[in-house]
């Protein structure tokens, strides 16, 4: 940190292959250092940092005070021992953290890369790479620094990168080098390259780069398209060369990994406030005692001077009082115990470990356990009110499975439950038997569809033909017969894979052809046109010519658009299909309708001409193109419909149901389209059919958004009025207080809620009223509306409306908007927010929310890195919150209550004693007792409680989500509770002082020696204190594990052991001054009077607590008390634990049965979301992304441009005509692909018997199991399909799924067993 | 976590299935039910009641007598005399008469009591040197700085024992005379030794090493007596040479500071070997002869003689039995209230919503 920092760069200037030149600028090397200390700097820097903490400085200050003899009322070690302990614990923790950072730095810095030095490729460590070096990257390597792509092995110097680590997006991105540099193919040429780059200084913008390359007296502009950023992985590219522009800390990756903002929990903030109050209290007590001292010294002390003259600097009572103030500050400092902060940290750390250790949050599929990445937020997990969830990858697996289809009016895929409950035993169809190209991970259960294919039903064949032709998927066949599809969106992949398994295998494509294997026979279609997808069209078509020369248009698209374009003779079929579609939509499936149209040669030619005209047009090209598309996509014949399941992560609907029962509101913020988002909303049961109304805010202007919001509020009110009928008077109560917090908390429990609620602007509707009618509304708002809604003057309105709805879905939102929404709720609701996501687009929201959760186990780790907690399944969230969070909160609250109590009980005794000892700051206890009280005698039992306490078993907190509520309402530890603790502490201190005082001041031992000496009093009080606080912790401990027993009894034992040791003659003989309590323990504790005193004090301290607790339990039992009680009763009755009361399962069954298939709106269908981007059609027809034969390549070699996609647009026409002219390259590919023996023998289904047998033989079960283990994705497929069939999908509502409805019990949070083994 | 399973299997990172890590440790979770709480209250009440009554009876049979002699009887004169520092060396004796109404049976203890004397001031308590009192030679000649200003006298001669505590030692001598109805007055014989804690007498306070030739006086050579003392520390007890120096019982008793400003310290124990005292202290008239040295007027204190009997429980002490009785009563009231509440309005563990 003391390194000389060069002034900030204005611009970056570098020359390739010229280290000397570049060294002038002193650019950062590629060595990264995230660690904070090294061995030498550790101690000073760490201590410096630690003393920046207020608490530590405070104790240092106390220590200095104690060194002044006139003030020192305690020995120096009473402060220094705890302080050193605290500092060293923290230091050890910091050191370990830093050690791991050093390790990971080293690992990264020592990665190998190939650097071109002196024209030769040399292996170099990453850290030795310099700016201006040219390095070579190979496939699947991490990019070492921010590089300017110079050339690559691929055509057109394209190269593919995966930016998962950078921004979380798993799809591949294309980068292209400048044409001038792309010609420098080999190392020799590159070594000669001496271009100079002038570019922007290092920054953290991932999607922007601007610079200029000067080479050979020419200027070339550089953009982000030419850059490979550190953290990316090279894919599908053999190798490439890049020029290092930014290295090490200057790279965009490192610039982005700013230190995360330190998050504090609300308990933390409360604690800090309370500590400040306690300081105030301390000062007050100091002042009172100092005044007392002044009075005493004036009245008595002055007269007592013959026995005890004032200390030399003191010459009057006022100065004495001043000193006494500081002396008392020292004595009473234990009300703010230094061990508080350390203990809190320890407890949180323990809770974090429990999260890390939880097997039920371990995902065996991705082999990831849950991880608490922050150890400071645990108790806040028990207070969450709002969850903001990403969709893709979080709620869904981003895996699409072809689930059902309707072909020619017949529905397939719905397995009839002839076998009733045994349905789950139905095996997925074995396609490999007759189709060697089948994807083994594909699961389908309906035998009848396979039969239909085999029988050769033309409609079925045509259906799958569409699926195998009409798409933009690329295939790769590295090994014969092993096809890998690269779909741009998973929906498409699912459809093409389905076709593949049913015998219509998409094999390969060239810009002008599509080769398929139809039932074992290779067929090459000429691809005449791709009518690409876009958002408005909601469909895509291809026009192909089959080998027989017939031209056909195949179309798939949203049913709403497709049905309008059908031939009239399809109407009957359309109605049946429509019914099927409704069914599919009800199941939350994404549906597409599939159709075809036969085109005559004339029709095609006529259209092609118009199309070319439109394509070449310079103005309104897009409009004209779509008009042209529109023209040909008419009079289509309906084939059927597909239903693709956007596979939800396991247990998502159950989790959401449980969370909403726990009063947690789940908002989905997604970048997806509205349809997709709504669809998912339905499938994860956030939206249901029995919702009163779903408001969709989709306006583009401020006015319209405002209007829509207003209308929805009015509608809510209206429906409430009609529902409540006579209660309209209440409804008129607009403008009243608006209660924040959750609606269900409205009731007696919401004191806090209503207190906070006086601040709503006048125009705001009474959301207390709105919230009282919540539960039937949902709000769906799109990104552009959100932009308006989030503006300062409307955000309030938006928030009111949104919070009155049970479900809120924001679609098409940008990452920034996600953060803004979170921020909005955080700011206005005073509620704890949690954001959960998996991708880089969620990072901002994860960082903004109080708690950020990252879904791990996916490829991108950006979200995980930014998160506070990470695990691999959304459903673990309920465990994280309802079990761990709830416990953490409970434990932390109990811990804090007890901690403040015990320290007040301990310290305030000094205060009372002050009135008897002339306010001279004499302590009541032995100094060792003061030193050890907090760190030895009382720390471990409360720590054990803070770590292990459980009020109800974990399964109960999942069964009764309402148990979560106290945390949200902040009931367990707040200012009121704090004052109760303090009052209890003070009461205890009064008892602990005055009872021994009353007894001992007159008592004598049985041998006549008075007991009123100071040491006896000290020992009696101390012992009574330790016993009382031990009894109290025993009362507070609700869950006595062996550890609790050990700590509580152990602490008592330790106390007596240390007491006797300290008062032993051995220690006295060595240090007579330090251990002058010699014999006190023995003399005091041998007296029955003393024990009677201690017993009396304990009874007086504890009995009221017991009485109050019992009364509270009896009169106002909390839900947790009830659950606990019920459990106790059940245990007594020796019955197996049945569920009593309203469990989730019960509620689920009820709502499940209530869910019919009625009133399904069409809005939910047509999840035409299979293409996320348009433009891929053009990429295909241009052939740019294909490895082509040299012949084909030649035709493209002439066209270069820096912006290739623009070129594509412009040259579209030329391309497509070119396509027609090029001879079909299908023959090439067919020739090149030597048919595998299996594939030739297995064409028709019937003849495949032999092949099938062989296949099974070669793949022994072990083999399959292994492969399952090896590829997580594959297992996901299998497993999740299984889940659909087996999981108790109580909410699914489809009558056919009997097993779901018939399986009662709590949601399946069953411990993950090793399904892979 | 998964270091044990170093393998890379799909479950290599699965957390251990130990009860501890899974928070499934077997545990006892007690809960406050009426079945446990109410009986506890009743039993507590009963126990307190029993203890209270027992203690009360014990205390009732223990007698204590206080004779304030600060300015009573002929001590008025001495009291006035001691007001002035100049006259502090002038000897003064006085007598106070008192009556013992009942026989003090068994061992009878004689205490001197001081009121408003703050032995519990922080600086007072610190003003002593335990290392010196344990007879260490180095410390004898070099008293701790905590003793200031009673560490060295005006001539920089170290004081032994040093410090404010020792300096202010109570130095009245008390003699109690029994005036029987017939016969002359008899001195009440007192044991003046064995009145300190065993550990104090034998461990905490030691004289500097002496032998037959090296007397105690020589051991204390080079030190001086505390300012307010009339005699040096090695001459505290004329009658018993083994009771001199730091191990003098009166000194030890005094050095054990009282916790509160009103206290009593043991002066002597009735020697029941002979005369009318074999059964204890007979009732009748007594006279207290005081060698009045200790000034209490400056700090508005009082001095008294306390005569007390002792049982297993110690001396007369009404506080504890009464406190027990009161507590018992309160707990009983609480128990009754709790029972009523439980029976009448209690939810009996049911939540309201259920």
Rg (Cα) of chain A, in Å, rounded? Answer: 37
Helix/strand/coil (H/E/C) assignment for every residue in A466-519: HHHHCCCCEEEEEECCEEEEECCCHHHHHHHHHHHHCCEEEEEEECCEEEEEEC
Test the A interface: residue of B314, B342, B348 with most A CBs within 10 Å:
B314
Top mean pLDDT of A1120-1129, A1184-1193, A1245-1254, B35-44 is at B35-44
**d(CA B182, nearest CA chain A) in Å:** 31
What pLDDT shows up at residue A715? 83
Interface of B with A in 286-305 (CB under 8 A): 295, 298-300
Residues 141-200 of B with CB under 8 A from A: 144, 149, 164, 167-168, 195-200
Look at residue A165 in the predicted model and tell me its pLDDT: 64
**What is the structure's pLDDT at A624?**
83
**Least Cα separation, residue A231 to chain B (angstroms):** 24
Contacts A364 to B, Cβ<8 Å: 10-11, 14
B-chain residues within 8 Å CB-CB of A998?
319-320, 323
Tokens 């279609």 belong to residue: A525
- Would you call A308 and B123 a contact, using CB atoms and an 8 Å cutoff? yes
Cβ pair A1117:B349 closer than 8 A: yes
Residue with tokens 């009609």: A722
pLDDT digits (tens, 9 = 90+) for B75-92: 888 888 888 777 677 888
A1216 pLDDT band, cuts 50/70/90, is very low
Which residue of chain A is at minimal alpha-carbon distance from B226?
A307
- With a cut of 70, say whether residue A388 has pLDDT above it: yes
| Min Cα–Cα distance to chain A from B298, Å | 6
Residue A855 has a pLDDT of 87
Q: Do B348 and A1107 touch (CB under 8 A)?
A: no
**% of chain B with per-residue pLDDT over 90:** 34
DSSP string, A139-155: TTPBP-SEEEEEEESSG
Tell me the average pLDDT across A415-429. Answer: 54
Which residues of chain B lie closer than 8 angstroms to A1000, CB-CB?
259
Q: Answer whether residue B198 shows pLDDT above 80.
A: yes
Percent of chain A whose predicted confidence (pLDDT) is above 70: 78
The mean-pLDDT minimum among A413-422, A1164-1173, B343-352 falls in: A1164-1173
- How close, in Å, is residue A486 to chain B by CA atoms? 26
Nearest-neighbour CA in chain A from B255: distance (Å):
10
Q: What is the ipTM of this complex?
A: 0.95
Domain boundaries, chain B: 37-62+312-339, 64-310
Which of A613-617, A722-726, B118-122 is predicted with the least confidence, judged by mean pLDDT?
A722-726
Q: Report whether pLDDT(B99) > 60.
A: yes
> What pLDDT, on the 0 to 100 scale, is given for residue A169?
55
From B179's Cα to the closest Cα of chain A, the distance in A is: 25
The answer on pLDDT for A1219 being more than 70 is no
How sure is the predictor about A1236, in pLDDT bands with cuts at 50, 70 and 90?
very low
Write down the pLDDT at residue A752. Answer: 39
Chain A neighbors of B3, CB-CB under 8 A:
none
Q: Number of helices (H) and strands (E) in chain A: give both, helices first.
A: 53, 34
Chain centre to alpha carbon of residue A1031: 41
Q: How far apart are CA A847 and CA A839, in angstroms?
A: 13
Range with the poorest average pLDDT among A765-774, A1105-1114, A1200-1209, B165-174: A1200-1209
**Residue of A667, A701, A707, A663 whose CA lies nearest to A797:** A707
Q: Average the pLDDT over A5-14 and give the result.
A: 74
Q: Which residues between 60 and 79 in chain A have a beta carbon less than 8 angstroms from any beta carbon of chain B?
A: 73
Please report, in range form, the residues annotated as the binding site of A for ATP. 390-392, 492, 533, 556, 590, 670-672, 812, 818, 841-842
Is the pLDDT at B194 greater than 60? The verdict is yes
Q: Which carries the bigger pLDDT value, residue A711 or residue A430?
A: A711
CA distance B343 to chain A (A): 10
Q: What is the mean pLDDT of residues B261-270?
A: 92
Q: How far is CA A1158 from CA A237, A582, A1294, in A?
A: 53, 10, 11
Residues 587-646, chain A, touching B (beta carbon < 8 A): none
Query: Of B22, B35, B122, which to mutate for an interface test with A (greatest number of A Cβ within 10 Å)?
Result: B122
Kindly give the residue spans of alpha helices, DSSP state H, lying in A915-974: 927-932, 939-948, 954-959, 965-968
Q: Name which of A353, A1005, A1039 is nearest B27 (Cβ-Cβ).
A: A1039
Whether residue A1089 and residue B317 make contact (CB cut-off 8 A), yes or no, is yes
Return binding residues of A. 390-392, 492, 533, 556, 590, 670-672, 812, 818, 838, 841-842
Tell me the CA end-to-end span of chain B in Å, nearest whole number: 43
What is the pLDDT, as a whole number, of residue A286? Answer: 94
Q: Is the pLDDT of residue A1066 over 70?
A: yes
Do residues B105 and B94 touch, judged by C-beta distance below 8 A? Answer: no
What residue of A is the nearest CA neighbor of B199?
A1079
Structure tokens at B42: 């009743």
Q: In this predicted structure, what is the pLDDT of residue A365?
A: 81
Note the pLDDT tens digit of each residue in A463-521.
Answer: 999 998 888 887 777 777 778 787 767 778 888 888 888 888 888 888 788 888 888 88
- B324 CB within 8 Å of a chain A CB: yes
- Checking if the pLDDT of A1094 tops 80, the result is yes
Residue A537: predicted pLDDT: 79
CB of B45 less than 8 A from some CB of A: no
Put simply, the answer to whether B349 touches A1122 (Cβ < 8 Å) is: yes
The number of beta carbons lying within 10 Å of the beta carbon of residue A964 is 28
Residue in chain A lying closest to B59 (CA)? A1003
Nearest to A1041 among B27, B199, B269 (CB): B27
pLDDT above 60: residue A1134: no
- Which is higher by pLDDT, A903 or A1169? A903
Q: Which of A220-224, A787-791, B264-268 has the highest mean pLDDT?
A: B264-268
The phi and psi torsions of A668 (rounded to 5 degrees) equal -105, 125
At residue A1199 the predicted structure's pLDDT band, cuts being 50, 70 and 90, is very low
The pLDDT score that the predictor gives to residue A157 is: 78
**pLDDT tens digits for A190-236?**
888 888 888 888 887 777 788 888 888 888 888 888 888 888 888 77
**B43 inside 8 A of chain A by CB:** no
A27-56 per-position pLDDT tens digit: 888 888 777 788 888 889 888 888 877 778
Which chain A positions have a beta carbon within 8 Å of B199's beta carbon?
1065, 1078-1079, 1082-1083
- pLDDT score recorded for residue A485: 80
Q: Give the model confidence (pLDDT) of B50-82 as tens digits.
A: 999 999 999 998 889 999 998 888 888 888 888
Mean pLDDT for A738-756 is: 36
> For residue B239, is pLDDT > 50?
yes
Instruction: Count CB pairs under 8 A between chains A and B.
Output: 318
CB-CB: which of B131, B164, B334 is closest to A1103?
B334
pLDDT in tens, A1239-1272: 333 333 333 333 333 333 334 333 333 333 333 3
pLDDT at B9: 67
Checking if the pLDDT of B112 tops 50, the result is: yes
Distance from CA of A172 to the nearest CA of B (A): 27
pLDDT at A741: 35
User: What is the sign, positive or negative, of the torsion defined by CA atoms of A99, A100, A102, A106?
Assistant: positive
pLDDT, tens digit (0-9, with 9 covering 90-100), for A808-849: 998 878 777 888 899 899 888 888 999 998 877 788 888 889
- Residue among B11, B119, B120 minimizing CB distance to A364: B11
Put simply, whether B42 touches A (Cβ < 8 Å) is no
Higher pLDDT, B45 or B16: B45
pLDDT tens for A164-189 read 666 555 556 778 888 888 877 777 88
Determine the residue of chain B that is closest to A1071 in CA distance: B131
pLDDT of the residue at A455: 87
Least-confidence region, from A335-344, A371-380, A594-603, A956-965: A335-344
How confident is the model at residue A127, as a pLDDT?
A: 85
Q: Which of A786, A797, A795 is nearest to A669 (CA)?
A: A786
pLDDT score of A848: 86
H or E element in which residue A645 lies: strand A637-648
pLDDT at A258 (0 to 100): 52
Q: Which residues of A1246-1283 are buried (b: 16+ CB within 10 A; e: fewer)?
A: eebeebbeebeeeeeeeeeeeebbeebebbbbbbbbeb
Q: Which of A7-11, A147-151, A540-544 has the lowest mean pLDDT?
A: A7-11
Q: Of A154, A73, A654, which Cα lies nearest the Cα of A325?
A: A73
**Chain B partners of A1111 at a C-beta cutoff of 8 Å?**
338, 341
pLDDT digit string (tens) for A304-355? Answer: 888 888 877 778 888 989 999 999 999 998 887 777 888 888 899 899 999 9
Provide the shortest C-alpha distance from residue A1245 to chain B (in Å). Answer: 37
> What DSSP character marks residue A1189?
-
Q: Average pLDDT, whole number, for chain A?
A: 77
Please tell me the distance from the alpha carbon of residue A115 to that of residue A131, in angstroms, as a whole number.
11
Question: Which of B29, B198, B333 to mutate to test binding with chain A, by most A CBs within 10 Å of its CB?
Answer: B29
Sequence-ordered alpha helix ranges (H) in A1211-1297 = 1212-1221, 1226-1232, 1237-1241, 1249-1258, 1261-1270, 1272-1286
The one catalytic residue among A390, A441, A532, A559: A390
> By mean pLDDT, which of A251-260, B23-32, B53-62, B241-250 is the weakest?
A251-260
pLDDT digits over A1262-1307, tens only? 333 333 333 333 333 333 333 333 333 333 333 333 333 333 334 4
pLDDT of residue A282: 92
Residue A334: the pLDDT is 86
- B-facing residues of A in 288-347 (CB < 8 A) are 300, 303-304, 306-309, 311, 327
- The band of A650, judged by pLDDT with boundaries at 50, 70 and 90, is confident
Residue of chain A minimizing CA distance to B327: A1100
Which of B259, B329, B348 has the highest number of chain A CBs within 10 A, making it the mutation to test binding with A? B259
Say how many C-beta atoms besides its own lie within 10 A of residue A542's C-beta. Answer: 24
Q: In the prediction, which pLDDT does A1292 show?
A: 34
When the pLDDT of each residue in chain B is averaged and rounded to a whole number, the result is 87
Q: Please say if A390 is a catalytic residue.
A: yes
Q: Which of residues 73-112 of B touch A (CB under 8 A)?
A: 85, 107, 109, 111
Nearest CA in chain B to A360: B22
Q: What is the pLDDT of residue A860?
A: 61
């Amino acid at each position: 940190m003391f390194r000389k920092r060069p002034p900030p760069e204005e611009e970056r200037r570098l020359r390739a292959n010229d280290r000397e030149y570049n060294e002038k600028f002193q650019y950062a090397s590629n060595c990264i250092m995230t660690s904070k200390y090294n061995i030498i700097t550790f101690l000073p820097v760490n201590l410096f940092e630690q003393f920046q903490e207020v608490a530590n400085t405070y104790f240092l200050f106390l220590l200095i005070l104690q060194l002044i003899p006139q003030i020192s009322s305690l020995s120096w070690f009473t402060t220094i021992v705890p302080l050193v302990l605290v500092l060293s614990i923290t230091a050890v923790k910091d050191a370990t953290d830093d050690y791991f950072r050093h390790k990971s730095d080293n690992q990264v810095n020592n990665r190998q890369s190939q650097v071109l030095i002196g024209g030769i490729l040399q292996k170099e460590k990453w850290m030795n790479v310099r700016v201006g070096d040219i390095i070579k990257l190979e496939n699947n390597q991490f990019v070492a620094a921010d590089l300017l792509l110079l050339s690559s092995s691929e055509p057109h110097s394209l190269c593919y990168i995966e930016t998962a680590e950078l921004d979380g997006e798993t799809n591949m991105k294309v980068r292209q080098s400048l044409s001038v540099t792309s010609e420098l193919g080999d190392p020799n040429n590159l070594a000669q390259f001496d271009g100079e780059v002038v570019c922007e200084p290092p920054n953290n913008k991932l999607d922007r780069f601007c610079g200029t390359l000067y080479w050979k007296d020419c200027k070339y502009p550089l953009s982000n398209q030419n850059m490979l950023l550190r953290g990316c992985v090279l894919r599908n590219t053999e190798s490439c060369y890049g020029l290092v522009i930014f290295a090490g800390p200057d790279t965009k990756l490192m610039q982005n990994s700013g230190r995360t903002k330190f998050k504090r929990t609300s308990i933390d903030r409360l604690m800090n406030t309370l500590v400040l109050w306690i300081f105030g209290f301390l000062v007050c007590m100091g002042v009172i005692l100092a005044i007392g001292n002044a009075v005493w010294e004036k009245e008595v002390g002055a007269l007592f001077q013959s026995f005890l003259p004032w200390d030399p600097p003191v010459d009057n009572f006022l100065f004495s009082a001043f000193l006494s103030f500081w002396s008392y500050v020292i004595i009473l400092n234990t009300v703010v115990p230094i061990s508080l902060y350390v203990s809190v940290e320890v407890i949180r750390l323990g809770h974090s470990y429990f999260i890390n250790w939880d097997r039920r949050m371990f995902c065996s599929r991705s082999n990831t356990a849950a991880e608490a990445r922050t150890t400071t937020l645990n108790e806040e997990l028990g207070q969450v009110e709002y969850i903001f969830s990403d969709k893709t990858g979080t709620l869904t697996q981003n895996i699409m499975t072809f689930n059902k289809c309707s072909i020619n009016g017949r529905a397939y895929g719905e397995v009839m439950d002839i076998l009733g409950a045994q349905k789950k035993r139905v095996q997925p169809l074995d396609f490999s038997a007759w189709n060697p190209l089948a994807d083994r991970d594909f699961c389908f259960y309906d035998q009848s569809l396979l039969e239909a294919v085999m029988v050769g039903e033309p409609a079925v064949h045509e259906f799958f033909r569409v699926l195998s032709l009409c798409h933009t998927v690329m295939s790769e066949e590295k090994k014969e017969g092993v096809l890998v599809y690269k779909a741009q969106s998973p929906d498409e992949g699912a459809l093409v894979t389905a076709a593949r398994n049913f015998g219509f295998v998409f094999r390969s494509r060239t810009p002008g052809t599509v080769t398929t294997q139809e039932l074992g026979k290779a067929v090459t279609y000429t691809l005449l046109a791709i009518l690409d997808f876009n958002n408005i069209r909601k469909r895509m078509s291809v026009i192909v010519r089959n080998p027989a020369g017939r031209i056909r248009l195949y179309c798939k698209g949203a049913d709403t658009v497709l049905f309008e374009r059908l031939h009239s003779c399809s109407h009957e079929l359309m109605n049946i299909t429509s019914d099927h579609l409704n069914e599919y939509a009800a199941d939350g499936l994404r549906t597409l309708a599939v159709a075809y149209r036969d085109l005559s040669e004339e029709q095609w030619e006529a259209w092609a001409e118009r199309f070319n005209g439109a394509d070449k047009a310079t103005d309104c090209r897009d409009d004209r193109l779509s008009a042209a598309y529109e023209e040909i996509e008419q009079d289509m014949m309906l084939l059927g419909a597909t239903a693709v399941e956007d596979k939800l992560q396991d247990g998502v609907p159950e989790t959401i149901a449980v969370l909403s029962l726990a009063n947690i509101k789940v908002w989905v913020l997604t970048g997806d389209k509205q349809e997709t988002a709504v669809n998912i909303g339905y499938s994860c049961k956030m939206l249901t059919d029995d919702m009163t109304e779903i408001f969709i805010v989709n306006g583009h202007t401020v006015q319209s958004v405002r209007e829509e919001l207003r209308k929805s509020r009015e509608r809510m009110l209206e429906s409430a009025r009609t529902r409540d009928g006579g209660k309209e008077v209440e409804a008129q109560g607009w403008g009243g207080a608006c209660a924040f917090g959750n609606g269900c908390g409205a009731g007696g429990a919401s004191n806090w809620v209503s207190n906070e609620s006086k601040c709503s602007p006048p125009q705001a509707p009474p959301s207390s009223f709105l919230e009282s009618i919540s539960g039937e509304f949902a709000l769906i708002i799109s990104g552009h509306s959100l932009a308006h809604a989030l503006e300062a003057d409307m955000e309030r309105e938006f928030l009111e409306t949104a919070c009155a709805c049970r479900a809120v879905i924001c679609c098409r939102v940008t990452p920034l908007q996600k953060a803004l929404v979170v921020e909005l709720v955080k700011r206005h609701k005073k509620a704890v927010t949690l954001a959960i996501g998996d991708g880089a687009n969620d990072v901002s929201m994860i960082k903004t929310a109080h708690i950020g959760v990252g879904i791990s186990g996916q490829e991108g780790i950006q979200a995980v890195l930014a998160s506070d907690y990470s695990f691999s399944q959304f459903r673990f969230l309920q465990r994280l919150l309802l079990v761990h969070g709830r416990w953490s909160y409970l434990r932390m609250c109990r811990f804090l209550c007890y901690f403040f109590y015990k320290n007040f009980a301990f310290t305030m005794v000094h205060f009372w004693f002050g009135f008897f000892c002339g306010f001279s700051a004499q302590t009541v206890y032995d100094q060792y007792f003061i030193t050890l009280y907090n760190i030895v005698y009382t720390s471990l039992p409360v720590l054990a409680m803070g770590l292990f306490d459980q009020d109800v078993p974990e399964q109960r907190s999942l069964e009764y989500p309402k148990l979560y509520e106290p945390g949200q309402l902040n009931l367990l530890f707040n200012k009121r509770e704090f004052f109760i603790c303090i009052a209890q502490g003070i009461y205890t201190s009064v008892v602990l002082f005055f009872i021994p005082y009353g007894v001992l001041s007159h008592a004598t031992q049985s041998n006549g020696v008075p007991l009123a000496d100071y040491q006896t009093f000290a020992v009696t009080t101390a012992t009574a204190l330790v016993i009382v606080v031990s009894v109290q912790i025993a009362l507070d401990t609700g869950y006595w594990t062996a550890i609790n027993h050990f700590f509580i009894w152990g602490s008592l034992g330790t106390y007596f052991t240390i007491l006797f040791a300290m008062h032993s003659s051995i220690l006295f003989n060595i240090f007579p001054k330090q251990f002058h309590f010699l014999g006190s323990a023995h003399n005091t504790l041998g007296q029955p009077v003393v024990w009677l005193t201690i017993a009396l004090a304990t009874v007086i301290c504890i009995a009221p607590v017991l009485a109050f607790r019992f009364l509270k339990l009896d009169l106002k039992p909390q839900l947790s008390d009830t659950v606990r009680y019920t459990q106790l009763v059940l245990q007594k009755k020796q019955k197996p634990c049945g569920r009593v009361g309203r469990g989730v399962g019960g509620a689920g069954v009820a709502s499940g049965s209530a869910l019919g298939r009625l009133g399904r709106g069409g809005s939910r269908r047509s999840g035409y979301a299979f293409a996320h981007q348009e433009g891929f059609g053009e990429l295909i027809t241009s052939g740019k992304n294909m490895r082509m034969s040299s012949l084909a390549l030649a035709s493209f070699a002439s066209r270069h441009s820096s912006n290739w996609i623009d070129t594509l647009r412009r040259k579209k026409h030329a391309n497509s005509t070119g396509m027609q002219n090029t001879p079909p390259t299908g023959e090439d590919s067919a020739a090149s692909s030597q048919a595998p023996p299996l594939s030739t023998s297995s064409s028709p289904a019937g003849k495949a018997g032999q092949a099938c047998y062989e296949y099974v033989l070669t793949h022994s079960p072990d083999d399959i199991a292994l492969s399952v283990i090896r590829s997580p994705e594959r297992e996901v497929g299998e497993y999740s399909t299984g889940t659909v069939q087996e999981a108790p999908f109580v909410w699914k509502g489809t009558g056919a799924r009997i097993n779901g409805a018939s399986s009662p019990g709590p949601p399946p949070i069953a411990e993950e067993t090793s399904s892979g083994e | 976590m998964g270091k044990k399973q170093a393998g890379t299997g799909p479950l290599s990172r699965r957390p251990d299935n130990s009860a501890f890590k899974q928070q499934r440790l077997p545990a006892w979770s007690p809960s406050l039910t009426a079945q446990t709480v109410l009986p506890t209250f009743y039993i507590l009440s009963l126990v307190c009641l029993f203890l209270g009554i027992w203690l009360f009876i014990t205390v009732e049979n223990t007698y204590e007598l206080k004779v304030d002699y600060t300015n009573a009887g002929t001590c008025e004169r001495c009291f006035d005399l001691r007001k002035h520092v100049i006259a502090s060396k002038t000897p003064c004796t006085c007598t106070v008469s008192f009556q013992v109404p009942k026989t003090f049976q068994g061992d009878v203890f004689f205490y001197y009591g001081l009121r408003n004397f703050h032995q519990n001031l922080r600086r007072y308590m610190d003003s002593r040197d335990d290392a010196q009192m344990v007879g260490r030679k180095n410390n004898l000649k070099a008293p701790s700085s905590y003793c200031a200003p009673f560490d060295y006298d005006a001539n920089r001669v170290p004081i032994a024992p040093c410090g404010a505590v020792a300096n202010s030692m109570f130095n009245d001598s008390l003699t109690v005379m029994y005036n029987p109805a017939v016969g002359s007055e008899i001195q009440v014989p007192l044991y003046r030794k064995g009145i300190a804690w065993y550990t104090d007498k034998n461990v905490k306070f030691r004289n500097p090493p002496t032998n037959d030739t090296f007397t105690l006086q020589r051991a204390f050579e080079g030190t001086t007596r505390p300012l307010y003392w009339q005699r040096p520390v090695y001459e505290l007890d004329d009658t018993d040479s083994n009771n001199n120096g730091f191990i003098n019982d009166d000194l030890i008793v005094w050095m054990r500071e009282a916790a509160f400003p009103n206290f009593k310290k043991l002066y002597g124990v009735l020697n029941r070997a002979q005369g009318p005292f074999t059964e204890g202290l007979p009732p009748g008239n007594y006279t207290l002869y005081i060698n009045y040295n200790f000034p209490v007027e400056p700090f508005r204190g009082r001095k008294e003689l306390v005569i007390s009997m002792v049982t297993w429980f110690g001396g007369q002490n009404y506080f504890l039995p009464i406190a027990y009785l009161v507590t018992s009563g309160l707990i009983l009231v609480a128990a009754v209230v709790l029972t009523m509440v439980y029976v009448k309005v209690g939810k009996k563990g049911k939540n309201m919503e259920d």
